[in-house]
Amino acid sequence: MAAYKPRVISLNKRSEQTFGFYLRVEHGEEGHLVRCLEMGGNAELAGMKDGDRILRVNGTFVDGLPHSEVVELVRNSGSSVTFHVLDEASYKQAKAQGVNLADPHSSPVTNVKGQQGLYMTEVVPGGVADQAGVRPNDRLLEINGEDMDSSTHDQAVEKIKSAGGALMFLLADEETERHYQSKHLKIGAWLATTKYLPHKPRIAEMTKGSDGYGFLLKEEPKLTGHFIRDIDRDSPADRAGLMEMDRLVAVDGKEVTEMSHEQVVDCIRMSGSQCSLLVVDKETEQMYQKGKVSPMLFWEEMKSISSPPSYNEVVTTPAVRPPSPVYNQEIVSVPVLSRDTDEDLKPKLCRMEKTSSGYGFHLNGIQGVCGQYIKEVVKGGAADRAGLEDDDMVVEVDGVNVEKSTHEEVVGLIRNSGNSLEMLVASKNVYEKLTAKGVAITRALLGETLYAQVHTPKTMEVRQETPPPPQLEEPEEQPARSRSSSESSCSSQTSVDERF
């Protein structure tokens, strides 16, 4: 079916919405037809066309099913559904030629002739896998934490089919694979980047108040681990973004999963008046467990100051993050400018001090190309509290204009800044409007308001993996790298709740 490749279209709607099209059968026409597309509706915006034929609903081949069954499949899918559709002309031609449209003809996983291993192919642009970071020719190393290195194509396909609605891949792109092969090193999830995963652990930086940190650390019946409970309103814990039933993974970078309740309490007390907690919510923990990966992988990645990303890393779609509460309400953040008045067209001067986990942002750019911008600002981190936001354009680093500097030069300035950093930045909107007017972006534009905010952040990730790391990815049916760090924590039957 190489000449008849269906399009994969994923639709989402709110409870009060429709998907924005009619599904019909018509006299004299074969198949289940898409009709009456709502202008600007979900289906039209996703690329559905009038006359398209529905071949699959959530993976189920429906071309030969009664229309009522197909309608029921769509209704039962709830607020999200994935269709495989074929345009009208291709559908009629395939039918005339007797093509079996149920035969995928090609699998998303294939062997490359003359090479050992399994590789990803035919990644649909805009599809779930594409959004999760899967790229053509990525080598498949693990599925849900299980090594696929010596598996056959059929075994891998069966593993994917049996995984249900979500899965995690450990993948390596061609550059990464070549590097590790040349060094005769095994690629494992402990080397992977977590940037493609949709859910992130959180790092809460806290300074103790007069009443402590404002939360209880508890062990829960029938659950393994140490959990955050009873968070006081407007306490350091509340402002740092801790949430009820977060599981505590590490204290100041030290993993506490295997520790007793009393040992964890001692760790927090020994940290003095400031501590940094790595926590996961239930959804994030389940995702990491699926891939048999420890959330410590995230901590290690966030605290490392690495170097420039490859071109492919720069252009990848950022992972979806779960909703999070407002962090550090006493810190004023700089709002996104929305009006065009001269009063609004101002840059931001952000001062920050490095914490144990870094500055808390990624510097994005293309090696050898001028123009750097901020990405993946860690909530509650130093950069976040200083006022940096995703997509801010970097104008100065410690007073040095870097608009014409390469990525490597900017990375060098940041690394040489020591434990404090001052950056003049502008939102993308402001930067484009000022440069279009020929206005030089300098501190003089700040007027009387000099500093956006100053505080201690989290990680500055200027990524420099000689090879890009293998990729942990998780789509709805998602790739992710996996490797294990099991979570067998201690549970003491008579635990004492300690308030922090």
How far apart are the C-alpha atoms of 145 and 483, rounded to whole Å? 5
> What three-state secondary structure class fits 44?
helix
How far apart are the C-alpha atoms of 260 and 247, rounded to whole Å? 14
CA 12, 18, 19: angle at the middle one, nearest 5? Answer: 50
Residues with Cβ within 8 Å of 374's Cβ and at least 6 positions away in sequence, in order, are 361, 362, 363, 364, 383, 388, 389, 390, 391, 392, 393, 394, 425
Contact 373, 474 (CB under 8 A): no
Q: Tell me, yes or no, if the pTM score tops 0.75.
A: no
> In order of start, what are the domains of the chain with their CATH numbers?
7-96 (2.30.42.10), 348-461 (2.30.42.10)
Where do we find the tokens 């498949």?
140
**Could you read off the pLDDT tens digit of each residue along the chain, which spans 500 residues?**
345 788 888 888 887 888 999 999 988 899 999 999 988 888 998 889 999 999 999 888 899 899 999 999 998 888 889 999 999 999 998 888 778 787 645 455 555 544 567 888 777 766 777 778 888 888 888 888 888 877 887 788 888 877 777 788 888 888 888 887 787 777 887 778 888 888 889 999 999 888 899 999 988 888 889 999 999 999 999 998 999 999 999 999 889 888 999 999 998 998 888 999 999 999 999 888 888 888 888 888 877 643 344 334 433 434 333 333 332 222 222 223 233 444 467 899 999 988 877 888 888 875 555 688 898 888 888 888 889 999 899 999 988 888 888 887 888 888 888 888 999 999 988 888 888 777 788 887 776 444 343 333 333 333 333 456 666 666 544 443 333 333 333 333 333 344 43
How far apart are the C-alpha atoms of 415 and 410, rounded to whole Å? 9
> What three-state secondary structure class fits 227?
strand
